[in-house]
Amino acid sequence: MARTYISGDNAIILAVTPANADLATSDALHLAREVDPAGDRTIGVLTKLDIMDPGTDARDVLDGRAVRLKHGWVAVVNRGQADIAGNVSMTAARARELDFFRKAPAYASLKNVGTSFLAGKLSDHLVSSIRRALPTIAQGINDGVAGMEKELEDLGGPSVEGRGGMVHLLLQLTRSFEDAFAAAVDGGKGGGERILTVFEAKLADNISKLAFAKILEPANVRRVVEEADGYQPHLIAPEMGYRRLLQECLALFARPADAAVDDVHAILRSIVASTLDAPACAALAQYQHLRSAIARTAAASLEAARSDARAMVGTLVEMERSYLTAEVFKEILNQSGRSAESGELIRTLSGRAVGDAADGTAGSPADRHLHRIAVHVSAYITHVRTQLKQTIPKAVVHCLVLKAKKSLLDGLQREVAASDEAGLHRLLSEDDATVKRREACSHRLKLLKRAAEEVAACTGL
């Protein structure tokens, strides 16, 4: 237990040893030398000089000739058990101690005797130690002040009062969130890169998996063509059959278009969540009600923008179904007899040139006719597919991504501008733990600053 108390660098060690014992075997000296080998913190104290054997004294020790200590020895005579039992006061004990040293020839000329001398020596030693430690103490206090000020800053600083100040703070916090959100959307990994992957990979993959082949099977083509003309057989070309086949195929684009909108919407939702926890929005951590309001408003804005985007991509698909481009279809028909080596050609879903695909089957004239119809429809769908791969991302970016970047929290900002002080206080209310921690930091900061002033005043000791 003693070692625990004396191991610290700032502890002053009193190595108390009875004068009537062998100093070479003193436990106190042995322990002091373990923790303070240089002796910078050790003061020797000799006790029980009044009960030494007749004819012996401790003068050699007190003069520093026997056992040397850097800070020397002090002799004291304490109360005995009989004195304690007899309620001898400390004043009387000190007076008797001083009388003993004055009357003892071996100690009468010494100054390093008595409890009063020991108290003074300890006081001087303590002052000297403090003077040496002042720069370190001052640095520690200054570091503490800086740390408390930084923590207070992280906690949001002093509370804002007044409607104008609260409105300014709320708008500042919401704009900081919007800026961080926009930066994440425009950024690479986790933001814009994920959105680009939806357009360049997932959308293309979903379109490639559409069941065009099932619609263009010979049996289905025959059924559609026959049902389109009713009881009147077509004379030259089954135009209504072509239209119905094209419309069935074009309707398939609606699903991957909607999926692209939903995928981008999910990415934007995840960016909102990550932005709330981003270092740029660390100030929101103390305002949980505002944080929830931001999350709620952002979710509503993204949902509204998703509805607009889905309506837009749906319109793009319906536009293709509603009005078939005759010039493109005529060009497809004109290329039916050409070779793949004759220049820039329209191709089918399989990548083959129209002319090669149209002539690439055997069978009866009716089978070949149905096959050519399927090839022509396939080529037209390829043309539309190329267009939609470009226009669907544009619609999603325009209606969803850009709208989110520009007006994600417009609803909340309008609410802030129209709120009274009570409503603003609710948005800026903090949890009890944050309030208590700020109060504790403020109190500790005051104490540290006062300590710094006192230490600065002590430098003249």
Is 226 found in the same domain as 357?
Answer: yes
Considering the domain architecture, whether residues 419 and 298 belong to the same structural domain is answered as yes
**Within a domain: 441:** no
- Give the distance, in angstroms, between the CA of residue 340 and the centroid of all CA atoms in the same chain: 58
CATH number at residue 199: 1.20.120.1240
CA-nearest of 184, 222, 205 to 367 is 222
Q: In percent, how much of the chain has pLDDT > 70? A: 92
Widest distance between CA atoms in the chain: 149
How do strand 73-75 and strand 13-18 relate by DSSP bridges? Answer: unpaired
CA 194/CA 396 separation, integer angstroms: 14
Count of structural domains within the chain: 2
pLDDT in tens, 119-177: 999 888 888 877 777 787 788 888 888 888 887 777 665 566 678 888 898 999 999 99
Selection from 425, 326, 441 nearest residue 383 by Cα: 326
Cross-strand partners of 13 = 42
* Residues 174, 94 within the same domain: no
Q: What is the pLDDT of residues 21-36, one digit of tens each?
A: 888 888 889 999 999 9
Tokens at residue 91, please?
């004043």
Burial 422-438 (b: 16+ CB within 10 A, else e): eebbebbebeeebeebb
pLDDT value of residue 461: 43
Q: Are residues 219 and 359 in the same domain?
A: yes
Residue 133 lies in a domain: no
Nearest alpha carbon to residue 243 among 222, 233, 228, 255: 228
Q: Is residue 131 part of a domain?
A: no
pLDDT of residue 456: 78
Q: In sequence order, what DSSP letters do the residues of 184-229 get, joined into one string?
A: HHHSIIIIIHHHHHIIIIIHHHHHHTS-HHHHTSHHHHHHHHHHHH
Which residue type is seen at 90? M
Q: List the beta bridge partners of residue 75.
A: 46, 113
The rounded distance, in Å, linking the Cα atoms of 290 and 156 is: 14
Please state, in angstroms and rounded to a whole number, the distance separating the CA atoms of residues 31 and 149. 43
Domain-located, residue 456: no
Confirm if 456 and 139 have CB atoms less than 8 A apart. no
Instruction: State the DSSP code for 241.
Output: H
Range of the domain at 39: 2-113
Mean pLDDT of the chain: 86
Predicted confidence at residue 230, as pLDDT, reads 60
Q: Is residue 139 part of a domain?
A: no
**Same domain, residue pair 84 and 176:** no
Contact call for residues 191 and 271 (beta carbons, < 8 A): yes
Q: Are residues 375 and 284 in the same domain?
A: yes
152 located within any domain:
no
| pTM assigned to the model | 0.61
Which residue positions in the chain have pLDDT lower than 50? 231, 235, 340, 461
Residue with tokens 């509805």: 307
Q: Report which residue type is found at 204.
A: A
C-beta neighbour count of 410 within 10 angstroms:
14
Helices within 14-55 (DSSP H only): 27-35
CA angle 420, 182, 200 (to 5 degrees): 140
With DSSP H G I counted as helix, E B as strand and the rest as coil, what are the percentages for the chain, rounded to 5? 70, 5, 25
Q: How far apart are CA 45 and CA 58, in angstroms?
A: 11
Q: Under a CB-based contact definition with an 8 Å cutoff, are residues 207 and 313 in contact?
A: no
Identify whether residues 98 and 239 lie together within a single domain: no
Q: Are residues 109 and 203 in the same domain?
A: no
Residues 203 and 100 in one domain: no
Pure H helices in 155-192: 163-186
CATH number of domain containing 27: 3.40.50.300
Shared domain check, 258 and 398: yes
Return d(Cα 63, Cα 51) in angstroms, integer. 20
Q: Is the dihedral of CA 109, 114, 119, 121 positive or negative?
A: positive
Q: Is residue 69 part of a domain?
A: yes
Q: Is residue 138 part of a domain?
A: no
